[in-house]
Amino acid sequence: MKKIWYNAQLSLPEINALNKNTMGEVLDIAFTEIGNNYLTATMPVNQNTRQPYGLLHGGASAALAETMGSVASALIINPEKQICVGIEINANHLKGVKEGFVTGKCSPLHIGTTTHVWDIRITNEKQQLICISRLTVALLKKHQFK
């Protein structure tokens, strides 16, 4: 399968550096694998990601999904000419998680010239599906934001 990434020589340290000073850093999201057309990342279930009942907060799952899809889009575009911003996200929370780590896998459903649509599937440590999310990202001309 052909690689979809703008820079074919991407490394995990370079991808993880994109989390610096962002919500991804606060939530301790770590990219763990880059395939030809997917990314995986983990996030701990802890005091930063739980809701009052002790379960993984749905917003934290959505933040993991949006971080993954936004980073994936950023890795496809030419950063000299474009930026990408999330414009719609949905998340179906299927199973609760109280501790450990969750892992997301982000794959493209659509890679167009003005939008990308990502499928993000989040599982627990037993590989049980806990959240399915879809993120739509708009691609904008960089000069609009100078």
Residues classed as catalytic? 66
Tell me how many degrees the CA angle 62-64-69 measures, rounded to the nearest 5: 95
Extract the tokens encoding 97.
């998680």
Are 49 and 92 a contacting pair, CB within 8 Å?
Answer: no
Buried-state track 73-105, b at ≥16 Cβ within 10 A, e below 16: bbbbbeeeebbbebeebebebeeebeeebbbbb
CA atoms within 13 A on the CB side of 102: 33
- Structure tokens given for 110: 């659509």
Please, how many CA atoms are within 13 Å of residue 79, restricted to the half-sphere of its CB?
10
